[in-house]
Amino acid sequence: MKAKRILAALALMAAICTPAFSMTPTVKKSVPAVKERSNTVTVYVTKRGKHFHKAECSKLNMRKTRSIKRYEALDKGYRPCKRCNP
C-alpha cells in the first residue's frame, strides 16, 4: 500500500515539474547580415602589432598605422584589441 502512495506521489511531482514550453534556443536569421556590415568597418593596424584597433584607441599610435577593412584584418590573422573592441 505504501509503495502505491509513493509511486502516485512521484508521478504527481513529475507532472508538476515538467516544463510546459520548449527549452531549445531560437536562432535569428539576421545575424549574418549584421556581421557582414561590421566587417566592412575601417580598422587600423601597426606594422609589427598583432591586433587591430578603432581610430580613437589609446593603444594606437596613428603615425605608424595603416587602415584596412575589418574582414581583411581578420583574414590576415589580426585579432581585435581588447581595449577598444572594434
10-residue averages of pLDDT along the chain (86 residues): 73 63 58 59 91 90 87 93 91
How many C-beta atoms lie closer than 10 Å to residue 41's C-beta?
13
pTM of the model: 0.54
Residue (of 7, 83, 13, 6) closest to 44 by Cα position? 83
- Count CB-CB contacts under 10 A for residue 57: 19
Please state, as a whole number, how many other Cβ atoms lie within 10 Å of the Cβ of residue 74. 15
> What is the rounded distance in angstroms from the CA atom of residue 46 to the CA atom of residue 60?
8
